[in-house]
Structure 1
Amino acid sequence: MNDQGVSQIVYSKNVVEFVTVANEFCTSMENVGHRTPQENLDTLQKLLPLLYLKAAVLPKVESVMDEELEKFVSELDYNTLHQKWLKLLCEYDSFYEVFDPSIQFGDETVTASVSENLMDIYQDLKDFVTAYSIGNEEVMNDSLAECVFHFSEFWGQQLVNVLRAVHMLVVGNIDFSEETIEEPVPGKGNPKWLDNFWGTNEEEE
């Protein structure tokens, strides 16, 4: 693909609109501590469907570089922001998943985490918008190609899954002010999935 072809893709209307919404989603995720739980959920209720729509109309893109793309979200970044969302949602972080690719359409029940689904989407989009902001058209092209692929294979499904949970939390009129939200401490009676996150889960005797 020539330089002109790359430019036409990375600055096309659909791509620029996707970048705008993806950046808004990332900013909203990062500003979790500055808004109430209801405000955060109301924002997600509007952003998630728009994000899916803008991703669904992205063009198919081929990579043009041999080098691997740089990643910008560190493990510390991920875990720190994840903890903020865990604290915000408290007991409402868990939801039953009706579709899990590993079990297809079986009868097993799978419990998923709102915050973990959101963070997986965030990690991919933050890497993308950061790479895109560098201004190198080849990097922009390849980061877009990777993002489109990951949307098809990973976070597109996570988005529609977690949207169900967000919708129920919004329309459920939950009074988060009645919840006593304490800082989670590893191995101190947290939900099993949270102790597994820290690697401190103890086997029941």
Structure 2
Amino acid sequence: MKEEELRSRLMALTSIAAGYCSALENCRDCEREDFIRDILGFLPRIYWEFSDLSVEENPDVSEFDYFPEYVDEDYYESVRRSVEAVMGEDDVFLETFEEDMKYSDTPVAASVSESLADIFQPLYNFISVVK
């Protein structure tokens, strides 16, 4: 990839990540419908932009744990709770990919706020490194 193309790609990735993180950080100021519309706009773009990144094999580095962590547990929980407050009763959905689901007599619930905060964490770390 040429340097100019790489720079352009990095700017696009950073812009999408920053927009998503900002939407989660400021979600308490939004109506539920506006927040959902914004997040539904970001999620496919995040998937698309990050899905085709190729990572060159480096035998010295097996994981991405060498990146600094900027999101601590308290900040993660703060973001998760904010999303949970905005989503209200719509924060819970049935987890169909859970292995225990097929053996369970009761539904296995998952949280929209936790799922969105799980995406927030590496994206916030990414934009913090880029910054």
**Is the structural similarity TM-score above 0.5?**
yes
Q: Say if 1:30 and 1:81, in contact at 8 Å, map to a contact too.
A: yes
- TM-superposed CA distance for 1:32, in Å, is 0.4
2:33 is aligned with what amino acid? Q
Structure 1 partner of 2:81 = 83
Structure 2 partner of 1:197 = none
Structure 1 partner of 2:67 = 69
Partner secondary structure for residue 119 of structure 1: helix
Q: Say if 2:28 and 2:85, in contact at 8 Å, map to a contact too.
A: no
Structure 1 distance, partners of 2:7, 2:91, is 37
Partner secondary structure for residue 117 of structure 2: helix
Structure 2 distance, partners of 1:48, 1:18, is 12
How many residues end up aligned between the 2 structures? Answer: 126
C-alpha change, 1:78 and 1:57, in structure 2 (3 Å) is same
Structure 1: state its 5+ residue gaps. 134-205
The match for 1:29 among 24, 32, 37 is 24
Structure 1 distance, partners of 2:59, 2:14, is 20
RMSD of aligned C-alpha atoms? 2.9
Partner secondary structure for residue 25 of structure 1: helix
Query: Is residue 42 of structure 1 aligned with residue 40 of structure 2?
Result: no
- TM-superposed CA distance for 1:69, in Å, is 2.3
Higher relative contact order (CA 8 A, sep 6+): 2
Q: Say if 1:14 and 1:57, in contact at 8 Å, map to a contact too.
A: no
Partner secondary structure for residue 11 of structure 1: helix
TM normalised by structure 2 equals 0.80
Structure 1 distance, partners of 2:44, 2:82, is 23
Structure 2 partner of 1:59 = 54
Structure 2 distance, partners of 1:64, 1:132, is 24
Structure 2 partner of 1:130 = 128
Structure 2 partner of 1:15 = 10
- TM-superposed CA distance for 1:73, in Å, is 0.7
Cα deviations by residue, 1:10-29 (Å, 9 ceiling, x for unpaired): 93443332221111111111
Structure 2: state its 5+ residue gaps. none
Identity %: 23
Which structure has the bigger radius of gyration? Answer: 1
